[in-house]
Amino acid sequence: MTEKQYTILLIDDDEQTHRLVRFMLRKQPLRIITALSFEQAQTTFESDSADVILLDWNLGNNHTGLDLIAPLHAASPAAPIIILTAHDSPDHIVSAMRTGAFDFLPKPISEARLIATVNRAIEHHQLIQTASHPNDPSFTTAHFENILGRSPQMQSVFAIIDKVASTDVSVLIAGESGTGKELIAQAIHNRSHRKHNPLVALNTAALPATLIESMLFGHEKGAFTGADRMRTGACEDAHTGTLFLDEVTEMPIELQPKILRFAQEHKFNRLGSTLVHTSDVRLISATNRHPLEEVKNNRFREDLYYRLAVIPIHVPPLRERAGDIPLIALHMLHHLNNNYHKSFAEISSAALTALNQYNWPGNVRELINTIERAIVLYDGPILELDMLPPEVLGQPPIENDIITHAEAEELHHTPIPAPPAPASSTIDTPAAPQTHPPSPNPESPTHPNEIIPIDQLERRAIEHAIHVCQGSPGKAARKLGISEATIYRKIKAYGLRGAES
* Residues 110, 159 within the same domain: no
The residue out of 315, 330, 360 marking a domain boundary is 315
> Is residue 16 one of the residues assigned to a domain?
yes
CATH code of the domain in which 407 resides: 1.10.10
> Is residue 30 one of the residues assigned to a domain?
yes
* Residues 296, 165 within the same domain: yes
* Residues 76, 214 within the same domain: no
In one-letter notation, the amino acid at residue 238 is: A
Classify residue 341 as left (phi > 0), alpha (psi -120 to 50) or beta. Answer: left
The reported pLDDT for the residue numbered 438 is 42
The C-alpha angle 336, 338, 344, rounded to 5 degrees, equals: 80
CATH code of the domain in which 99 resides: 3.40.50.2300
- Summarised one tens digit per residue, pLDDT across range 195-218 is 999 999 999 888 888 799 999 999
Expressed as residue numbers, the domain containing 479 is 398-423+449-501
* Residues 126, 159 within the same domain: no
* Residues 183, 232 within the same domain: yes
> Is residue 213 one of the residues assigned to a domain?
yes
Q: How many domains does the chain have?
A: 3
CATH code of the domain in which 220 resides: 3.40.50.300
* Residues 92, 167 within the same domain: no
- Summarised one tens digit per residue, pLDDT across range 262-285 is 999 999 999 999 999 999 999 999
* Residues 76, 170 within the same domain: no
Q: Which of 474, 367, 399 is nearest to 91 (CA)?
A: 474
> Is residue 391 one of the residues assigned to a domain?
no
> Is residue 430 one of the residues assigned to a domain?
no
* Residues 128, 205 within the same domain: no
> Is residue 434 one of the residues assigned to a domain?
no
* Residues 121, 173 within the same domain: no
* Residues 39, 165 within the same domain: no
* Residues 127, 168 within the same domain: no
Residue 34 phi/psi, 5-degree rounding, is -130, 155
The residue out of 98, 132, 166 marking a domain boundary is 132
The set of residues, in sequence order, having a beta carbon less than 8 Å from that of 421 and lying 6+ positions away, is: none
Contact of 173 with 187, CB cutoff 8 Å: no
- As a whole number of angstroms, the distance between CA 70 and CA 343 comes to 14
In the chain, which residues have pLDDT < 50? Answer: 1-2, 400-403, 411-412, 414-446, 498-501
* Residues 222, 309 within the same domain: yes
> Is residue 228 one of the residues assigned to a domain?
yes
Q: Within the chain, how many helices (H) and strands (E) appear?
A: 20, 18
- As a whole number of angstroms, the distance between CA 443 and CA 338 comes to 53
The reported pLDDT for the residue numbered 39 is 75
**DSSP H helical segments within 100-222, as ranges?**
111-132, 137-142, 152-164, 181-190, 209-217
> Is residue 408 one of the residues assigned to a domain?
yes
pTM of model > 0.85:
no
The reported pLDDT for the residue numbered 440 is 41
Residue 412 Cα distances to 82, 217, 229, 296, angstroms: 23, 63, 67, 59
The residue out of 132, 161, 192 marking a domain boundary is 132
